[in-house]
Amino acid sequence: MPASALMNVMISAARKAGRGLARDFGEVENLQVSKKGPANFVTAADMRAEKILFEELSRAREGYCFLMEERGRVEGPDRTHTWIVDPLDGTTNFMHGIPLFAISIALEREGQLVAGLIYNPVTGDTYTAERGKGAFLNDRRIRVAARARLRESVITTGIPHHGKQGHERYLAELEAVMPQVAGIRRTGSAATDLAWIASGRFDGYWERGISAWDMAAGIVLVREAGGFVSDADGGQEMLTTGSIVAGNEAIQRDLVKLVSRRPTRP
């Protein structure tokens, strides 16, 4: 299906920012073995990508608001539309030369997520979705996986690391999920996790402590691919609670039962 004018704007912006990230990623692979390390370089790469996305999206849709990882909230005269943008989701992967990272762009209209794009500049994989129009990978229609039993399912998750809260709660959730499933994976990129849920690579996903820009585009993708998304307690406050559970109807429902209000381990 031909991309809409809106999606063409998003794709063009992502690819322009992605060219720089792909070039910088090649440099990081060399920098990671240096004494200083690549952290400062990656921060600069992140900022350059966000600047390109901000400029391109502002030019194409003048007046829209922004919610961005580095710039935060940027108000515009059109308060009914907000771009929700992560220029580099999977920064630690990028820093270590691991090609699992993505640009994530979503559009919120009058409080509703209506479009999402997730783009990996290394592989060229472009996941797109608009509300009511389905989800696509490189122009091919995608659907969530059909497996309905946890014991046959591969589940992806985000693990809280140094500097984050919730380690004990996560261990309790992991202890509840592990015996029920065929396998658990971690990509290190929430946007990638949700894109792979939408395309059926993973069956289910849960994570806490992430931001709106990490998940907004992926929420649109999963829903348009026939999947279900909620926060960890089964509600619809993902962008404010920072928690998310996704999958097809059966897997998402069963995952929520396992992780919702899970007490911490003694």
Question: At 219, which amino acid appears?
Answer: I
**What is the Cβ-side half-sphere exposure of residue 48, based on CA atoms within 13 angstroms?**
16
CATH code of residue 108: 3.30.540.10
Q: Which residues contact 2 (CB under 8 A, 6 or more apart)?
A: none
Q: Identify which has the larger pLDDT, 68 or 266.
A: 68
Question: Lowest-confidence range among 56-70, 87-101, 117-131?
Answer: 87-101
Pick out the residues of the known binding site for Mg(2+).
69, 86, 88-89, 214
Which residues form the domain of 213? 150-259
Tell me the whole-structure pTM to 2 decimals: 0.94
Same domain, 128 and 197: no
Average pLDDT, stretch 77-83? 98
Whether 207 is in a domain gets the answer yes
Q: Which residues contact 35 (CB under 8 A, 6 or more apart)?
A: none
Among 101, 116, 141, give the residue marking a domain's end.
141
Whether 264 is in a domain gets the answer no
Average pLDDT, stretch 240-259? 97
Number of structural domains in the chain: 2
Token readout for 18 is 């992605």
Task: Report d(CA 111, CA 67) in Å as an integer.
Answer: 13
Whether 265 is in a domain gets the answer no
DSSP state of 168: H
Instruction: Flag whether pLDDT at 22 surpasses 50.
Output: yes
Same domain, 99 and 218: no
Q: What is the pLDDT of residues 55-70, one digit of tens each?
A: 999 999 999 999 998 8
Token readout for 178 is 């592990």
C-alpha angle with apex 220: 76 to 147, nearest 5 degrees?
Answer: 165
Terminal Cα distance for the chain, rounded:
53
Per-residue burial over 211-222, b = 16 or more CB atoms within 10 Å of its CB, e = otherwise: ebbbbbbbbbbb
Same domain, 121 and 246: no
When the pLDDT of each residue in the chain is averaged and rounded to a whole number, the result is 93
DSSP 220-250: HHHHHTT-EEE-TTSSS-HHHH--EEEESHH
Pick out the residues of the known binding site.
69, 86, 88-89, 214
Instruction: Flag whether pLDDT at 41 surpasses 80.
Output: no
Question: Lowest-confidence range among 8-22, 33-47, 70-84, 202-216?
Answer: 33-47
User: Dihedral angle at the C-alpha atoms of 202, 116, 261, 146, nearest 10 degrees?
Assistant: -30
Q: What is the pLDDT of residues 145-163, one digit of tens each?
A: 999 999 999 999 999 988 7
Same domain, 75 and 109: yes
Instruction: Flag whether pLDDT at 1 surpasses 80.
Output: no
Question: With bands split at pLDDT 50, 70 and 90, how would you rate the model's confidence at 34?
Answer: very low
